[in-house]
Amino acid sequence: MAEPLPTFDAVFESMQRKVLGLCLHVVGERQEAEDALQEAFLAVYRGLPAFRGEAQLSTWVFRIALRAALRVRSRRPPLAIEQNFEPASERPEQVLEARDEARRLERAMSRLPAEQRTVLALFAVDGLGHREIAEVLGVPEGTVWSRLHLARKRLAAELASPAQR
């Protein structure tokens, strides 16, 4: 017998932060990411009763969120990623250094092509595996490997560039 579906509230509580993170990486601005989050969870709310379990629930939710974020992003030109970064260090010079490093990483990530940035965010930030990312994006697993490899390579080059320092 199939496992009963969790309630919408349970899905929202367990996935809200990760979905917001994905949306933020795709659209690049907090307010628009929150708009995408709302669109995504509205679609999840409407679709949850019809969810048949052919994929993992989290994969299904991520796919819906990705489509919502791409719709929101398509409504305006791309912007740089902007996040509040609060390092754990108490020493002012370490705080400033960590913030500068975070900004460098954000700028470098914002210059990646959307496909590479999305795969990198799903893998490194959201902790999804290659197979899950392939399901979310609707692409072959080999494409995920390729995009991830290219994203890492390009990100390393961006961070090594003297203009980034």
Q: 152 lies in which domain range?
A: 91-159
Please check whether residue 82 is in contact with residue 30, taking contact to mean a CB–CB distance below 8 angstroms: yes
Q: Which H or E element spans position 17?
A: helix 8-27
Could you tell me if residue 113 is inside a domain? yes
164 within domain boundaries: no
- Please report whether residue 66 resides in a domain: yes
Task: For residue 48, give the CATH number of its domain.
Answer: 1.10.1740.10
* Mean residue pLDDT across the chain: 81
> Considering its fold, how many domains does the chain have in total?
2
Asked if pLDDT for residue 30 goes beyond 50, the answer is yes
What's the pLDDT at 107?
80
pLDDT band at 161 (very low <50, low <70, confident <90, very high): confident
Per-residue pLDDT at 14: 93
Distances (CA, A) of 16 to 12, 102, 113: 5, 23, 25
CATH number, domain containing residue 136: 1.10.10.10
Q: Report the range of poorest mean pLDDT among 35-44, 92-101, 137-146.
A: 92-101
Would you place residue 100 in the very low, low, confident or very high pLDDT band (cuts 50, 70, 90)? Answer: confident
For residue 12, the model assigns a pLDDT of 94
Residue 5 and residue 51 share a domain: yes
Task: Identify the band that residue 83 occupies on the pLDDT scale cut at 50, 70 and 90.
Answer: very low
User: Lowest-confidence range among 47-56, 57-66, 95-104, 114-123?
Assistant: 95-104
Asked if residue 154 lies in contact with residue 164, where contact means CB atoms within 8 angstroms, the answer is no
